[in-house]
Amino acid sequence: MPRLARILCPVDLSEASRRALMYALGLGREHGAAVRVVQVIDVRGWAGAALVDVGAILDEARTTAEEQLGWWVAKAVGTGGGASTELREGAVVPGILAAADEFDADLLVLGTHGRSGFERLALGSVAEKTVRRSTRPVCVVPSREDAVVRTGTPSRVVCATDFSESSVHAVSYGQLLTTAAPAALSLVTVIDWPFGETRGNDPVTQLRQSLTEEATAQLRRVADAAGVGESATLAVRQGRAGREILKYAREHHAEIVVVGVSGRGAIDRALLGSTAQQVLRDAPCPVLAVPAIAVPAGGVDRQTAR
């Protein structure tokens, strides 16, 4: 099972970032994880500016940025917040990913902007690029007012799976979220079914029943492989995957949805038009996106990463 010992929270000092930080700190407290807050400022364009002393201005800007970051974190979480801070310079997304590698983060927690959550994570945005390129799990925390964002360990975890390598791997992270405190874990899969509700003994209904039974058996194998045994609820839905996953999450008051994302850089451009994007965009709660090649804890010497 993966572990949750180090959490990295990239911020831009916005209200969305504050909400994500509070979520990260709640997970950190429940799991005994260290939390680091990182801000990356991009000053590369300053070097060619027609200024008398660019170096002096950069030094002053660094000092000011460090003070602002420290003040912002203290204001957000209080003096006893228990989060370390780091200020980095350079391109923002590579800086975030480098910070995650150096810290050996087990999880990144990011806030989203706007009422529709992930819709603001359009191609090219910092948040979208971070989710797409990260080889580590990324938790996306929505900032809209109607979202359910419960600090600490979520009490209802929904893992969506299509039995791909990435989605099966994600189940172990769903289980991880239930270890710090009692929580209900659901494994959900969706059969792409265009015929709607059917009854009786006609061939279409028999096919639907057969597909449901096979999917249920596959869910049980996934649950057993992940070590969740009989504790997980298994659910097979019919319809469009994204819509049904979101419907299940709302019906069961999910506090986090866990999805596996494929591709070496997590969500690739093709997948951004499919199920993962829809769940990330419209989920009523945080979404944990787990890449198939999620870096295992301990991949970097934790002593040197302090």
Highest mean pLDDT range out of 64-68, 81-85, 254-258, 266-270?
A: 254-258
Note whether 227 and 1 are within 8 A (CB): yes
The per-residue pLDDT for 53 is 60
Q: What is the mean pLDDT of the chain?
A: 80
The per-residue pLDDT for 266 is 41
d(CA 213, CA 156): 25
pLDDT above 70 (res 295): no
Residues 6 or more apart in contact with residue 241 via CB below 8 angstroms: 160, 162, 190, 192, 275
pTM of the complete model: 0.84
Where are the chain's structural domains? 6-291
Residue percentage of the chain with pLDDT more than 70: 79
| CA distances, 263 to each of 208, 227, 241, 258 (Å) | 31, 25, 19, 17
Mean pLDDT value across residues 58-69: 80
Class of domain 6-291: alpha beta
pLDDT above 50 (res 262): yes
d(CA 33, CA 24): 9
d(CA 174, CA 158): 7
